[in-house]
Amino acid sequence: MIFTVYVPNNKGLRYVRDRGLITLPPPSRGWPQYVLQEERGEEIPERVYKSKELSFGITGEDLVNECLLAKDPTVMAASKTSIPLNLSWLGSYADSIFGLPTLCVLGKGGMGFEEFKKAYGNSLTRKTTPNFQQKRVVIPGRYERLIRSLVQQDDVEYISLEGKVDVTAATDSSIDYAIDIVLSGKTCIREGLGIFATLFKSDGVLVYNRFSPLQNLINYGALTQEDKP
């Protein structure tokens, strides 16, 4: 048996990719042979879910939830179709602000990152976002559904961009807030942006489809104690 493992070619998901591949036991230990296929991380969940054969994907939890919300706006349940890689404070994330890539509310006048951590810790303890009513909020387009599901405020003007969300918020005086993924926080600090709230931490995940239910993963050896990430 040979199946496909979709792996991200995004630079920002390189560590997730490497750790995910380590999680898959080698064929020599009884795991079926597989081939790797590179895709953008945001495209991987859809590739896996649409596959008519057993397949897996390695990507970010935020991107899995974004895909699931496109299918059903009332559901955000990556945990039902994926296995976390538990990467908090490891490798590339060891020097991150919150231990994992974290979706944050940013803007002028927000708290400094260290000040915020002292006040609220590393967990998502400050869940109340600012009042966005009649505000202009710039966001990454690839997280638009996820952000809307987390914020749940009406009368907000979301401005969806492909990139440079934090820089746009810092340089465009017509923007009130930004919501973006923060890792080290260096760009925000350089651009003079503070933090108002944290919304979502994104672990790396191994995502699977309906042809590879949890019991199959256990049978194939992916979830034995020595193989758990």
User: For 119-135, b where at least 16 C-beta lie within 10 A, e where not — what string?
Assistant: ebebeeebeebbebeeb
- pTM summary value: 0.85
What pLDDT is stored for residue 38 in this prediction? 97
Which residue shows structure tokens 């896996």? 48
Q: Residue 131: phi, psi to the nearest 5?
A: -75, 110
Q: What is the pLDDT of residues 14-62, one digit of tens each?
A: 999 999 998 887 766 666 788 999 999 999 999 998 888 888 999 999 9
Q: Do domains 2-87+203-227 and 95-201 have the same CATH topology?
A: yes
Look at the domain 2-87+203-227 and name its fold: D-Maltodextrin-Binding Protein; domain 2 (3.40.190)
Sketch the domain layout of the chain as residue ranges: 2-87+203-227, 95-201
**Which CATH number is associated with domain 95-201?**
3.40.190.10
Per the model's pLDDT, the better-predicted residue between 190 and 8 turns out to be: 8
